[in-house]
Structure 1
Amino acid sequence: MNKHEDEKKAMELAAVDIFLALYNRNNPIDLRLIQQQEKPDALLEDEASHPIGLEVTHLFYDTEEARRMMSLSELTRPGPELLETFIKVINDRIRTKEHKFKDYSHDYPCMLLIRNVSLLFGMSDILGMKNKLVLPEGYFTQVWLLSRDFTPDWLLINLSTMDDGGRE
């Protein structure tokens, strides 16, 4: 494995570890990591030894976001048009992962974990725009969003069970 692949695997493992800690704290049936792999990124197992795949994707600031961050004071929040663009990035990422789903093992159900590591947008920003999120079309059994909200603490929400806010 090259350095880039090592870094990617380390980021995926960190996301899985955070996900499992939060998931197990808030759900009656614990999950545990069996192994890291490809397509999906992790193989989990529940207490009854049922396998569950977990595909991990990261949303992190790009060079454009970094430029915007440097030009904004700490007290200035990004405008709604930037948040709309970020929501589009989330929607595009979900669609991309759904498209790739056909290449994954279908021997067990698979969940999607979206880890937001953006410094501009937190969980409350995303949830405030939940009516703009395009939720997956059933390829993944559950879609989880892992994000901070401008504190050091990670938050986890199941996007698959969110109220659709009146969308058709």
Structure 2
Amino acid sequence: MKPRHDTEKLALERAAIREFIRLFNSRHSVKLRLLYQHDRPDAVLQTSRGDKLGVEITHLFYDAAEAKALLGRPDGSLSGPVTLAHLIAQLNELIKRKESKKMAYDPAYPISLLIRNASPTFRLSEIWAARDHIRKPNDSFIDTWFLTRDGTPDWKLMNLDDLHTAGG
């Protein structure tokens, strides 16, 4: 039997990849489907052209206290002053950490990075306003996707590779 953490992580990743596929397919002529989940990368997809695409999935939380609380394991610790700058710093650190780990992944197919914003602290519109402070992803991943909400239950999908080229 898998430890609770592994089962929980797999469920979080599956939810993120399903939402990613749904949103991606609604906007692109080349469709994606989940082939399987595993480690390094977390998911392997297949395009409607028959190509494989790996997806490394990570979740953005404001801090460890928020992550524990949102996952149903509050430990009583409190966050300091809540600032957008802190969330952006967390996002930049996630991007940097995942890029450095990418070297250990299967190079048999291209790999995208999917960052799911699990923090309800800030909306997409607020994060978008601070886009100049978000670290531009390097070329480690073919794409860097950001899955988040904007004050509604609906998920939004942005490609962070286009972040600094988009109009403001």
TM-score grouping bracket, smaller chain normalisation: 0.7 to 0.9
Give 1:1-168 correspondences, 5 Å limit: 1-61=2-62, 62-63=64-65, 67=78, 82-164=83-165
Is the contact made by 2:41 and 2:55 (CA closer than 8 Å) also made in structure 1? yes
Evaluate the alpha carbon distance shift between residue 18 and residue 64 of structure 1 in structure 2; reply closer, same or farther with a 3 A threshold: closer
Return closer, same or farther for 1:150/1:105 CA change in 2, 3 Å cut-off: same
List alignment gaps of at least 5 residues for structure 1.
72-77
- Percent of aligned pairs with the same residue? 38
Q: Which amino acid aligns with 2:32?
A: L
What one-letter code is carried by the residue in structure 1 that aligns with 2:24? Answer: Y
CA distance in 2, matches of 1:64, 1:108: 35
- Matched residue pairs, number? 156
Superposed displacement of residue 60, structure 1:
2.2
Shift of 1:64: 6.1
Structure 1 stretches of 4+ with a deviation exceeding 6 A read: none
User: Partners in 2 of 1:97 and 1:159 — Cα distance?
Assistant: 14
The answer (yes or no) to whether the contact 1:54–1:113 under 8 Å persists in 2 is yes
Q: Pairwise CA RMSD of aligned residues? A: 2.1
State the alpha-carbon separation in 2 of the partners of residues 86 and 124 from structure 1: 14
What amino acid does structure 2 have at the position aligned with 1:43? V
1:156 is paired with a residue of what secondary structure? strand
- TM-score norm. by structure 1 comes to 0.86
SS of the counterpart of 1:88?
helix
Partner of 2:72: none
Deviation at 1:165, TM superposition (A): 7.1
TM-score (structure 2 length as normaliser): 0.86
